[in-house]
Amino acid sequence: MSPRPIPLFKVFLPPREALAGPLLDTLYGGQITEGPKAAEFEHRFGAAIGNANVLGFYCGTAALHVALLLAGVQPGDEVVSTAMTAEPTNMAIAQAGARVAWADVDPVNGNLSAEGIAAAITPATKAIMVVHYGGIPAALDAIHAVAARHGLPVIEDCAHALGARYGGKPLGSHSPFVMFSFQAIKHMTTVDGGALAVSDPALLPKGRRLRWFGIDRALPRLEAEVAEVGWKYHMNDVTAQIGLVQLDHIEPVIARHRDNGRWFDRELAGIPGIEPARWDAKAEPSYWFYTLFADDRDGLMRRLNERGIAASLIHRRNDEHPLFAAARHALPGLDAFHARVLHIPCGWWVDDEDRERIAATIREGW
């Protein structure tokens, strides 16, 4: 009998008996689009990340787009970003009409390095987009020092990093703009959804207008004047209700990602032929997936896949896409990362037996 497959990603939803009642109540409650549930979700999610200034969104990409606009990014500006991410990070920059300027990554974890960012800044730069790749926090202290030197806002893409901490604090309040995604396979899903946490509460009214056609919904509809382009990016009460129930259940889910990650850190260290990723001393990852490096990465990937263990590179380097062709330039740190990196399952669905099986397969060699 072939062994039980271990996927790289799995949707977590609260138990049916916990979700079904509140969800049906909201669905048939007369208000299904943005209303009290969306507001309650913003409030409770803000408490969870330690930042009260939260806006809910239809998806994380929408939250990133609005973050860029609130940061003052305009068509023709440059945003320093990473090519080692899911496409939405950089698509949001394109949606804002700006150009990506690739900064190089630290080859030990795939996150932008402060040195890489400093080298990519030009007079046209208006913001710095930082992704905590795979749930490993980037070196925020060093990055903020570069940003401060140039007077640039940092936008954190925390799509992979809910529950990660830096300097003892949950990600969510370290930078002027912090985005989360609640897409299906993230640590916490609302089916689709996103949030933007900002450090300056004075930006919230504009953020609310940008996510709803430029209209101030606090005013009577016939009194609201539209003076800017806005989008239909709001979170609705149905997905917010899913998020509210998720918040009651998600802590042990994220704790299991962390526990599995730390277990792999210990168990995989010292196995000849592989190295786990490394990070800043202040970072505490939330291990959306586990990142390791191997000289014969393709051989290891094949062996794991043969044994039913999903292992892959997950994302294509974004600098290969024709859309970003004009930004291409040498990125030796990314080349080094990309040549040896492999991601393996680490999430809440990986039980003790599964992780032993993964470690044993790697120990056997390939």
Q: Where along the sequence are the contacts to ligand PLP (CB under 6 A)? A: 59-61, 85-86, 88-89, 131, 157, 159-160, 181, 183, 194
Nearest CB to ligand PLP, comparing residues 88 and 276 = 88
SS (H, E, C) the chain: CCCCCECCCCCCCCCHHHHHHHHHHHHCCCCCCCCHHHHHHHHHHHHHHCCCCEEEECCHHHHHHHHHHHCCCCCCCEEEECCCCCHHHHHHHHHCCCEEEECCECCCCCCECHHHHHHHCCCCEEEEEEECHHHCCCCHHHHHHHHHHHCCCEEEECCCCCCCEECCEECCCCCCEEEEECCCCCCCCCCCCEEEEECCHHHHHHHHHHCECCCCCCCCCCCCCCCCCCCECECCHHHHHHHHHHHHHHHHHHHHHHHHHHHHHHHHCCCCCEEECCCCCCEECCCCCEEEEECCHHHHHHHHHHCCECCECCCCCHHHCHHHHHHCCCCHHHHHHHHHEEEECCCCCCCHHHHHHHHHHHHHCC
Q: Which is nearer to ligand PLP, 274 or 327 (CB)?
A: 327
Measured from each CB, the residue nearest to ligand PLP is 60
Instruction: Pick between residue 38 and residue 300 the one whose CB is nearest to ligand PLP.
Output: 38
CB-wise, 46 or 88, nearer to ligand PLP? Answer: 88
Minimal distance, residue 88 CB to ligand PLP, in Å: 4
Q: Provide the minimum distance between the beta carbon of 159 and ligand PLP in the complex, in angstroms, as a whole number.
A: 3
Least distance in angstroms from the C-beta of 360 to ligand PLP = 30
Cβ 161 to ligand PLP, closest distance in Å?
Answer: 9
Closest approach, Cβ 61 to ligand PLP, in A, equals 3
Nearer to ligand PLP, 238 or 294 (CB): 238
